[in-house]
Amino acid sequence: MDLTPKQTVHELNKYIIGQDEAKKAVAIALRNRYRRSQLSPELREEVTPKNIIMKGPTGVGKTEIARRLAKLVKAPFLKVEATKYTEVGYVGRDVESMVRDLAEAAIRLVKEEKTQEVSYKAVAVAERRIAKVLADVKKDERGEFSREVFENNLVDDIHAGKYDSTMIEIEVADNPKPLELSPGQGAAIDLGSVFGSLGMNRKKRRRITVREARNLLMAEEADKLIDNDSVQTEAIRRAENDGIIFIDEIDKIAGGNSGGIDVSREGVQRDILPIVEGCTVMTKYGPVKTDYILFIAAGAFHVSKVEDLIPEFLGRFPVLVELNSLKKEDFVNILTQTHNAITMQYSALLAVDNIDLQFKPDAIERIAEVAEELNNTSEDIGARRLHTVMEYLLEDISFEAGGNDYPLVTVQIDKKYVDAHIEKLMKACGGRKHLKITGFSNME
């Protein structure tokens, strides 16, 4: 998808409110990838991504911007925490494992796409296999039909879902899980591949529902139809040219942190340098060049400063954007304008139990006001504060609702309802003395 920067920002606006500077930076980085692909091979080799550092408190959209960007263009994406890595020579994960994990993400992405392409054929074969098993179970019901006609009828019924809950015993492939020899180091032996190469593809019998059997056999048949070599080739190409690695908590490995020597600080920064600058990392799918992977580092930088990172590291991240704390207006927009608005999520969840949950505009305003005040008077956790407020606000409704046999009940949440149910949240967050939310002075 060749989106212009403006189109990219427009798509990101559907899920993230505000933070225009950060959106603009990632949109330009994304467009530059397309521009690079249009250059001559000689010049293309010289153009590398301009990596980005996002500075801002938790919950304001740093991870979500990167994740949505990758999803938008179907790029391999990996989120890692800088604190999980240690300097070479110490026990723990080495920084090269992030590239191996990105390769795994690319394999999954490409395999899902290839599976979708052959799903029609795979489903047809899977339903035919299930029909043969059902025909043996229901042989007394065949009557005057021939075996072939009976199986064809069963295939139609299986496809329509009439036998989804029927239990059958079926033979499926037994794929042992990969055995990881050195935890955290990315070294693993895939026993399934070993047995397959020795001609020892193992089978096992399972008693499961037709619905489960259909999914298992569809995946099994899709694997037979997919060329794994082409999957690996395409996955490596995408990881190298389209991959995005999001390194969170980068401030925790900056030198400004208090607390003495830590093997997860300056040494980790130096180990990350060659990965970001460009090197080749060996994976079980082949070598992966990191020269053109886009790296986005992020951190709150409450204790340390961006300048506390070593100069060599900062040099590999030339773009610095600062994300702002969320205000009341931002919370209102998050609750009403985003495609995955939390109000919509709760309404959909409670609709399962025949509750028609409706939020009035004055309730939205009050919820946003409470969320902003809580972030100002206690820890600033950004948009995640809305989950706290909504859980306390809807606790009674969520507990009382239940059972499809109840008639449809409409529940309207207004400002008065919010005021009446927010006292428990105030106490949970430290009591009224820590919360000076306007409108609560006359409460008992």
Domain-by-domain residue ranges, the chain? Answer: 5-104+236-322, 113-233, 328-428
Summarize the chain as % helix, strand, coil (round to 5).
50, 15, 35
**For residues 376 and 128, what is the distance between their CA atoms, to the nearest angstrom?**
61
Ramachandran class of 186: left when φ > 0, alpha when ψ lies in -120 to 50, beta otherwise: left
Residues 6+ apart with CB under 8 A from 41: none
pLDDT of residue 235: 95
**For residues 247 and 9, what is the distance between their CA atoms, to the nearest angstrom?**
22
Bridge partners of residue 289, in order along the sequence: 280
**Cα radius of gyration (the chain):** 27
Q: Position 329: which residue type? A: E
Coil, strand, or helix at residue 413? strand
CA dist 303 to 61, 259, 273, Å? 20, 12, 23
Handedness of CA 127, 131, 134, 136 (dihedral sign): negative
| Domain spanning 5-104+236-322, CATH class | alpha beta
pLDDT of residue 322: 92
Q: How many residues would you count in the chain?
A: 444
pLDDT of residue 400: 84
Residue 432 CA, distance from chain mean position: 37
Are 425 and 370 in contact, with CB atoms under 8 Å apart? Answer: yes
Are 389 and 374 in contact, with CB atoms under 8 Å apart? Answer: yes
Query: Would you state the structure tokens that stand for residue 351, as one six-digit string?
Result: 């609709």
pLDDT of residue 434: 43
Are 297 and 54 in contact, with CB atoms under 8 Å apart? Answer: yes
pLDDT of residue 71: 92
Are 304 and 314 in contact, with CB atoms under 8 Å apart? Answer: no
Residue 228 CA, distance from chain mean position: 24
Closest CA to 106 of 309, 270, 285, 251: 285
Coil, strand, or helix at residue 281? strand
DSSP per-residue string spanning 348-359: HHHHTTTEEEEE
Query: Would you state the structure tokens that stand for residue 252, as one six-digit string?
Result: 């925790």
By CB atoms closer than 10 A (0-12, 13-18, 19+), residue 92 is: middle
Residuewise pLDDT in 10s, the chain (444 residues): 678 999 999 999 999 998 999 999 999 999 999 999 999 999 999 999 999 999 998 889 899 999 999 999 999 999 999 888 876 656 567 889 999 999 999 999 999 999 999 999 999 999 888 888 888 877 766 666 677 787 788 888 888 888 888 888 888 777 666 555 444 444 445 555 555 555 456 778 888 888 898 888 998 899 889 998 999 999 999 999 999 999 999 988 887 544 444 545 788 888 899 999 999 999 999 999 999 999 999 998 888 888 988 899 999 999 999 999 999 999 999 999 998 899 999 999 998 888 899 999 999 999 999 999 888 888 888 889 999 899 888 988 888 887 666 788 888 999 988 888 887 676 666 544 444 444 333 333
Q: Which CATH number fits domain 328-428: 3.40.50.1000, 1.10.8.60, 3.90.1310.10, 3.40.190.10?
A: 1.10.8.60
Ramachandran class of 89: left when φ > 0, alpha when ψ lies in -120 to 50, beta otherwise: left
Are 338 and 379 in contact, with CB atoms under 8 Å apart? Answer: no
Query: Would you state the structure tokens that stand for residue 433, as one six-digit string?
Result: 């003395």
